[in-house]
Amino acid sequence: MHEYSIVMALIEQCEALAKQHQAIAVERVDIKVGILSGVEPSLLAQAFNTFKLDGICAKASLDMHIQPLVLQCNHCNTRSEQMHRVVLCPDCNSADTRVVDGEDMMLMQLEMDT
């Protein structure tokens, strides 16, 4: 399960940012998870709750914002959002599309107690 290694890196990033801002605790972690990121949200939440227990994130909540797949069609120039993993244009059914957003997982915001 690669979610464990992702969460470990996320917690390390949170700890580094908390130290940089002289925080004593992280209260909330907001992340964006793209549909095509390869991350399973439920497994990520489970891993976060497991690994946060021994550090500055012990009481932190994890708020996940699921980023839809944003496609730009090179054939009909339509821009669309989809909540499923299909890279075909919903207007013209072309496979000649470009992914604009929805492939990444990003730390968006931390709420810290200083």
Distance, in Å, from the CA atom of 40 to the CA atom of 32, rounded to the nearest integer, reads 12
Q: Is 75 annotated as a binding residue?
A: no
C-alpha span between 62 and 33 (Å, rounded):
12
Is position 2 annotated in a ligand binding site? yes
89 is in an annotated binding site: yes
- Is residue 92 marked as binding? yes
Reduced DSSP (H G I as helix, E B as strand, rest coil) percent helix, strand, coil of the chain, to 5: 30, 35, 35
Q: Do 47 and 57 contact (CB within 8 A), yes or no?
A: no
* Binding annotation for Ni(2+): 2
Q: Which residues are annotated as a binding site?
A: 2, 73, 76, 89, 92
Annotated binding site for Zn(2+): 73, 76, 89, 92
